[in-house]
């Protein structure tokens, strides 16, 4: 697998992952889970390249974090373990 150094490396890793599945070196279910991690990495890398984040107030930054957590939960079914559940 190619190494991840920036968000632009995600395409190369995805290509290698798809190739590994086609060659039977990686199970499709494993590739799907790894693909979710790659997607999160790409989002993080994209967000890290946004200098406007430095100008946000603490409240605005918390709102952005909450928005990303909600988006991640919708896309992947992830739940934030740090907060109590609504059971």
What separation in angstroms does the CA of 65 have from each of 18, 47, 50, 59, 82? 31, 11, 14, 10, 14
Query: What are the structural domain ranges in the chain?
Result: 1-49, 51-87
Angle at 66 between CA 81 and CA 84, to 5 degrees: 30
- Kindly report the pTM of this predicted structure: 0.50
Q: 78: which residues sit within 8 A by CB, 6+ positions away?
A: 72
Ranking 27-31, 44-48, 81-85 by mean pLDDT, the lowest is 81-85
Handedness of CA 12, 17, 21, 23 (dihedral sign): positive
**Direct distance between the N- and C-terminal alpha carbons of the chain, in angstroms, rounded to an integer:** 41
Residue-wise pLDDT for 59-86, tens only, equals: 887 887 888 788 877 766 666 666 554 5
């Amino acid at each position: 697998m190619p190494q991840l150094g920036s968000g632009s490396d995600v395409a190369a890793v995805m290509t290698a992952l798809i190739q590994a599945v086609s060659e039977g070196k990686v199970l499709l279910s494993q590739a799907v889970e790894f693909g979710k991690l790659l997607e999160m990495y790409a989002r993080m890398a994209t967000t890290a390249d946004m200098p406007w984040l430095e100008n946000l107030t603490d409240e605005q930054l918390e709102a952005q974090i909450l928005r990303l957590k909600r988006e991640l939960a919708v896309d992947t079914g992830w739940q934030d373990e740090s907060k109590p559940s609504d059971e």
